[in-house]
Amino acid sequence: MLSYALRRLFGAIPTIFIIITAAFFMMRIAPGGPFDQERTLEATVMENLNATFGLDLPLWQQYGMYLGNLFRGDMGPSFIYRDMRVQEILGEGLPVSVQLGLTALILALVVGAALGTLAALRQNSSTDYTVIAVATFGITVPNFVVAPVLSLVFAVMLNWLPAQGWGEARQMVLPVIALALPQVAIIARLVRGAMIEALRSDHVRTARAYGLPARMVVLKHALRAAILPAVSYLGPAAAALLTGSIVVEQVFNLPGIGRYFVQGALNRDYTLVMGTVVIVAVFVVVFNLIVDLLYALLDPRVRYD
C-alpha cells in the first residue's frame, strides 16, 4: 500500500502542473492588472512597479520564473498586501479554512450516514419520505442562498448566534451548517440506497438467521458495506467544500483563504490567486489519496499491489 501511495503522489505531479499552468495563463489573459486601479500614478511609476514585480517581462519568462520560485517554496510577493509574501498570507488563512472544511466534512458524514440509515430501515414510510425530501432540498439549494438565509434568521432576526467572526464555538455553527448541508443531503441519499441493498444481501440475512441483535446486524454488518459509496464520495466532497468555503467565508466574514482568493481575483493579485490554486489542488489530490487508502481498509476485497 505504501508503494501505491507513493506512485499516486508522483502521478499527481503532472495534474498539479497542468492546473498551475492553466491558472497562470488564465489570470494573465484576463483583462486588467494589479495596478490598474491606481490611475493617479504616473507612467514612470507604473513602469517601475511592473519592473519591480517582473510584469514587464515576456509572459513565458514570467511563467518560468514563477515555476522556479514555486519549486523553491516561494509563492512570491502579494500585490495587494504590500511587504507580505503569499505564503505568509495563506499561512494565516489556511488553518481557518481547514478547520471549517474538516468540521463540515465530519458533520456531513455523520449526519448523512445517520439519516440515510434511518431512511433505509424505515423504507417507504413517512420518515423515509421526509429524509428524501430534505436531501433533495439540500442538494438543490446552493451555499450562496443557504448562508445568507441562516445569517438572517439565526443571527439577525432571532439573535441566537453571531453572524461573523471566528475563534469561538458559537461562531462556527452557522458557517459549518451552511457548508455541510449540501453534502449531508448527498451522503444521506448514497447511504440510503446502499443500506437498502446491504440489508437484502445474503450475509446480513445469515446474521439475522443466527439470531444476532438487530442493532449489531445493522452497525457491524450492513453499515460497513453501506458506508463505502459515501467514502468514495469524500474526495469530490472535499473539493466541493473547498470551493464552497469561498462563498461561506465571504458571507460570514471569516479570515480564511477563500476571502483572500476573492480579493486577489478582484484586484488581479496574480501571486495570491496562484498560491490559493496551488494549495487547493494539493489538498484535493492528497485527500483523494487518503480516501482510496481508507476504502481499502474498509473493504478487504480491495488491494493495491
The helix (run of H) or strand (run of E) holding residue 19 is: helix 2-29
pLDDT above 70 for 294? yes
- pLDDT at residue 296 in the model: 67
Which one is predicted more confidently, 66 or 208? 66
Name, in order, each residue with C-beta under 8 angstroms of 24's C-beta and a sequence gap of 6 or more.
Answer: 63, 66, 270, 274
Residue with cell string 511609476: 45
Is residue 24 situated within a structural domain?
A: no
pLDDT: which is higher, 195 or 204: 195
Number of domains, the chain: 1
Cell readout for 145 is 442562498
- Residue 33's pLDDT is what? 67
Q: In this structure, how many other beta carbons lie within 10 angstroms of the beta carbon of residue 244?
A: 26
1 domain-assigned: no
For residue 58, tell me if it sits in a domain. no
Residue 215: is its pLDDT beyond 60? yes
Q: Kindly report, residue by residue over 92-125, the tens digit of the pLDDT.
A: 888 888 888 888 889 988 998 888 888 888 888 8
Query: For residue 26, is it within any domain?
Result: no
Residue 37 falls inside a structural domain: no
DSSP string, 240-264: HHHHHHHHHHHHTT--SHHHHHHHH
Residue 256 falls within a domain, yes or no? yes
Specify the CATH number for the domain of residue 105. Answer: 1.10.3720.10
**CB neighbourhood size of 247 (10 A):** 20
pLDDT band at 77 (very low <50, low <70, confident <90, very high): confident
Residue 278 belongs to a domain: no
Range of the domain at 116: 94-260+286-298
Q: Which residue has the cell 499491489?
A: 305
The pTM is what?
Answer: 0.79
d(CA 104, CA 183): 9
pLDDT at 45: 64
Q: Is residue 293 part of a domain?
A: yes
CB contact at 8 A, 23 and 274: yes
Choose among 93, 114, 102, 103: nearest CA to 169. 103
Residue 5 has pLDDT above 70, yes or no: no
